[in-house]
Amino acid sequence: MQKITDVSELKEIARKIRVDVIKMTNAAGSGHPGGSLSSAEIFSVLYFNILSHNQQNPEWEDRDVFILSKGHSCPALYSALARSGYFPVEELMTLRKLGSRLQGHPDMLKLPGIEASTGSLGQGLSIAVGVALGIRLSKKDSRVYCLMGDGEQQEGQVWEAAMSACHYKLDNLCGIIDRNRLQIDGFCKDVMCYQCLEDKWKSFGWHVITVDGHDIPALIAAFEEAKTIKGKPTVIIADTVKGKGVSFMENVAIWHGQAPNDEETKKALNDLGELHS
């Protein structure tokens, strides 16, 4: 994949990802728009600037590996995969339809570019640790990236995996946390407060970078910094807004797992500058 370095192009890709998310979830009548919208810049930067991958050969053995631990945000992942050439963009509108390759959570047996079937929260980082260990044993330079939610930090398995990654000094592993501060039942701090996330990850032996998750140059700089860290894994804590870009969805918990109806879709697309497309 040819790297895109122009920030305006990456911003436009993030906008298109958001448009796709709204259209897909509306067409499906279900899905998870909130966390998909909050992670649009993360996907834009990863798939069009950071990851070494080959849409013509998804199984390329020297590729970087991306694992979406918060599998419910797959509309954004599907959009990034389609727009980077893994399958036709038109197929996005089959999300959650009977027989579609675009399931409500990622299925690695159905769709090229999906590295792990995820959806049960807390498991993605464990998978990423195993992949990172395998890459080390193969003596390859590939890297592993794992995107988690901040509500997902309430899962104990996340911290078992974090401890393991530190123990094995997996400097080829980069975790990303989409810290939009909301989960399906409300604000994370009200559901299960995890105090200072930065301090927790540091105490588990990780290099920690906190960044504005909607600032594309800052995201690129964070990923590039992660590549320079030796002897320990890195986690990028990306501060984001749930439902980013859609006025009535921003910071509203109900949009974690509710699709917009036709009228709401028109308003959302207008917010995203896509009303007449």
**Domain ranges within the chain, ordered by starting residue:** 7-271
Both tokens of residue 219? 């995201």
Q: How confident is the model at residue 276 (pLDDT cuts 50, 70, 90)?
A: low
Q: What is the pTM of this model?
A: 0.97
What value does the mean pLDDT take over residues 32-46? Answer: 98
Cα separation, 168 vs 129, in Å, equals 9
How do residues 161-201 score in pLDDT, each as one tens digit? Answer: 999 999 999 999 999 999 999 998 988 899 998 779 999 99
CB 209 within 8 A of CB 180: no
- Report in angstroms the alpha-carbon separations of 199 from 178, 207, 235: 17, 10, 12
Q: Which CATH superfamily is domain 7-271 in?
A: Thiamin diphosphate (ThDP)-binding fold, Pyr/PP domains (3.40.50.970)
Q: How confident is the model at residue 2 (pLDDT cuts 50, 70, 90)?
A: confident
Predicted local distance difference test score (pLDDT) of residue 194: 77
183 sits in which H/E element: strand 182-183
Cα separation, 124 vs 178, in Å, equals 14
Out of 5-9, 184-188, 247-251, least confident range = 184-188
Predicted local distance difference test score (pLDDT) of residue 266: 97
Cα separation, 277 vs 275, in Å, equals 6
